[in-house]
Amino acid sequence: MTNPQQVPHAPAMRLIFEYEGDSVRLVSQQPVDMTISGVDTGAEARPGDFVETRDDGGQRLARVPARGAFRESAEVFPENHAEPITRVDVEARGAFTVVVPAPAEAAEVAVVRVAPPGVEPPPEGAPAPPPAGPARDVDLATFRLER
Protein backbone atom coordinates (compact mmCIF):
# COMPACT_ATOMS: atom_id res chain seq x y z
CA MET A 1 0.00 0.00 0.00
CA THR A 2 1.36 3.41 -0.89
CA ASN A 3 1.21 6.13 1.70
CA PRO A 4 0.94 9.70 0.51
CA GLN A 5 4.01 11.55 1.65
CA GLN A 6 5.32 15.03 2.12
CA VAL A 7 7.94 16.32 -0.27
CA PRO A 8 10.39 18.73 1.41
CA HIS A 9 11.01 22.16 -0.08
CA ALA A 10 11.70 21.40 -3.70
CA PRO A 11 10.87 22.94 -7.05
CA ALA A 12 7.12 22.98 -7.48
CA MET A 13 4.58 24.44 -9.86
CA ARG A 14 1.23 26.04 -9.06
CA LEU A 15 -1.17 25.17 -11.87
CA ILE A 16 -4.57 26.72 -12.55
CA PHE A 17 -6.99 24.78 -14.72
CA GLU A 18 -10.38 25.68 -16.17
CA TYR A 19 -12.85 23.04 -17.22
CA GLU A 20 -16.19 22.57 -18.87
CA GLY A 21 -17.46 19.01 -18.71
CA ASP A 22 -14.40 16.82 -19.22
CA SER A 23 -12.66 19.46 -21.38
CA VAL A 24 -9.69 20.89 -19.45
CA ARG A 25 -7.45 23.91 -20.17
CA LEU A 26 -4.26 24.87 -18.36
CA VAL A 27 -4.48 28.65 -17.89
CA SER A 28 -1.52 29.37 -15.60
CA GLN A 29 1.81 27.85 -14.51
CA GLN A 30 3.74 29.53 -11.72
CA PRO A 31 6.94 28.17 -10.14
CA VAL A 32 6.78 28.10 -6.33
CA ASP A 33 9.12 26.95 -3.58
CA MET A 34 7.07 25.18 -0.95
CA THR A 35 6.48 21.92 0.86
CA ILE A 36 3.85 19.76 -0.79
CA SER A 37 1.87 17.20 1.19
CA GLY A 38 -0.35 14.39 -0.07
CA VAL A 39 2.02 13.40 -2.89
CA ASP A 40 1.64 9.83 -4.12
CA THR A 41 4.61 8.32 -5.93
CA GLY A 42 3.35 4.72 -5.92
CA ALA A 43 1.43 2.74 -8.49
CA GLU A 44 -1.68 1.98 -6.41
CA ALA A 45 -4.72 3.82 -7.73
CA ARG A 46 -7.68 5.04 -5.73
CA PRO A 47 -10.73 6.68 -7.33
CA GLY A 48 -10.68 10.45 -7.76
CA ASP A 49 -9.22 13.30 -9.79
CA PHE A 50 -5.47 13.90 -9.76
CA VAL A 51 -2.72 15.92 -11.43
CA GLU A 52 0.48 14.06 -12.26
CA THR A 53 3.95 15.22 -13.18
CA ARG A 54 5.59 13.05 -15.83
CA ASP A 55 8.98 12.81 -17.48
CA ASP A 56 9.61 13.07 -21.23
CA GLY A 57 8.80 9.38 -21.64
CA GLY A 58 5.37 9.79 -20.01
CA GLN A 59 6.38 8.01 -16.79
CA ARG A 60 4.64 9.29 -13.66
CA LEU A 61 6.93 11.04 -11.20
CA ALA A 62 4.29 12.13 -8.68
CA ARG A 63 0.52 12.39 -8.33
CA VAL A 64 -1.40 14.87 -6.18
CA PRO A 65 -5.14 14.92 -5.58
CA ALA A 66 -7.19 17.63 -7.29
CA ARG A 67 -9.63 18.08 -4.42
CA GLY A 68 -12.86 19.82 -5.33
CA ALA A 69 -12.20 19.71 -9.07
CA PHE A 70 -14.98 18.93 -11.51
CA ARG A 71 -17.97 19.86 -9.37
CA GLU A 72 -21.13 18.47 -10.93
CA SER A 73 -23.69 19.46 -8.31
CA ALA A 74 -24.65 22.46 -6.21
CA GLU A 75 -26.60 23.09 -3.04
CA VAL A 76 -29.91 24.89 -3.50
CA PHE A 77 -31.25 26.84 -0.55
CA PRO A 78 -35.05 27.11 -0.33
CA GLU A 79 -36.86 30.41 0.07
CA ASN A 80 -38.61 29.00 3.13
CA HIS A 81 -35.94 28.22 5.74
CA ALA A 82 -38.10 25.38 7.13
CA GLU A 83 -37.64 23.41 3.90
CA PRO A 84 -34.51 21.26 3.40
CA ILE A 85 -31.46 22.30 1.43
CA THR A 86 -31.23 20.15 -1.69
CA ARG A 87 -28.44 19.20 -4.09
CA VAL A 88 -29.00 19.39 -7.85
CA ASP A 89 -26.92 18.34 -10.83
CA VAL A 90 -25.30 21.21 -12.74
CA GLU A 91 -23.11 21.44 -15.82
CA ALA A 92 -19.54 20.79 -14.70
CA ARG A 93 -17.79 24.12 -15.26
CA GLY A 94 -15.24 25.99 -13.19
CA ALA A 95 -11.60 26.21 -12.22
CA PHE A 96 -9.24 24.59 -9.74
CA THR A 97 -5.69 25.09 -8.52
CA VAL A 98 -3.14 22.46 -7.54
CA VAL A 99 0.55 22.57 -6.60
CA VAL A 100 2.65 19.69 -7.95
CA PRO A 101 6.30 18.72 -7.46
CA ALA A 102 8.33 19.87 -10.47
CA PRO A 103 11.76 18.27 -10.32
CA ALA A 104 14.19 18.87 -13.18
CA GLU A 105 13.04 15.72 -15.01
CA ALA A 106 9.36 16.78 -14.98
CA ALA A 107 8.40 17.65 -18.57
CA GLU A 108 4.59 17.52 -18.52
CA VAL A 109 1.54 17.43 -16.30
CA ALA A 110 -1.58 15.37 -16.82
CA VAL A 111 -5.05 15.71 -15.35
CA VAL A 112 -6.14 12.16 -14.57
CA ARG A 113 -9.43 10.68 -13.42
CA VAL A 114 -9.07 7.36 -11.66
CA ALA A 115 -12.35 5.60 -12.33
CA PRO A 116 -13.51 2.94 -9.89
CA PRO A 117 -13.91 -0.52 -11.34
CA GLY A 118 -17.39 -0.87 -12.80
CA VAL A 119 -19.55 -3.92 -12.77
CA GLU A 120 -22.72 -3.99 -14.81
CA PRO A 121 -25.43 -6.40 -13.70
CA PRO A 122 -25.65 -9.49 -15.90
CA PRO A 123 -28.72 -10.11 -18.07
CA GLU A 124 -31.41 -12.20 -16.43
CA GLY A 125 -30.37 -15.85 -16.26
CA ALA A 126 -26.72 -15.11 -17.12
CA PRO A 127 -23.93 -16.14 -14.76
CA ALA A 128 -22.58 -13.55 -12.35
CA PRO A 129 -19.78 -11.38 -13.77
CA PRO A 130 -16.22 -11.88 -12.56
CA PRO A 131 -15.06 -9.65 -9.72
CA ALA A 132 -14.31 -6.06 -10.73
CA GLY A 133 -10.79 -5.39 -11.90
CA PRO A 134 -8.54 -2.63 -10.65
CA ALA A 135 -9.39 1.05 -10.92
CA ARG A 136 -8.32 2.55 -14.25
CA ASP A 137 -6.65 5.84 -15.11
CA VAL A 138 -8.28 8.08 -17.71
CA ASP A 139 -6.17 10.98 -18.95
CA LEU A 140 -8.41 14.05 -19.36
CA ALA A 141 -5.63 16.33 -20.62
CA THR A 142 -1.83 16.57 -20.83
CA PHE A 143 0.23 19.77 -20.97
CA ARG A 144 3.94 20.62 -21.30
CA LEU A 145 5.53 22.27 -18.28
CA GLU A 146 7.08 25.66 -18.93
CA ARG A 147 10.41 26.35 -17.25
What 3 state SS string does 74-129 have? Answer: EEECCCCCCCCCEEEECCCEEEEEEEEECCCCCCEEEEEEEECCCCCCCCCCCCCC
Q: Per-residue pLDDT tens for 84-109?
A: 999 888 888 889 999 999 999 999 99
Q: Which amino acid is located at 131 in the chain?
A: P
Is pLDDT at 42 greater than 90 in this prediction? no
DSSP 146: P
Residue 91's CB is within 10 A of a number of other CB atoms, namely: 8
Q: Per-residue pLDDT tens for 16-26?
A: 999 988 789 99
> Which residues, in sequence order, are bridge partners of residue 14?
30, 99
Residue 86's Cα: distance from chain center in Å?
26
**CA pair distance 26, 13, nearest whole angstrom:** 12
Instruction: For residue 19, count CB atoms less than 10 angstroms from its CB and return exposed for 0-12, middle for 13-18, buried for 19 or more.
Output: buried
pTM score, whole prediction: 0.72
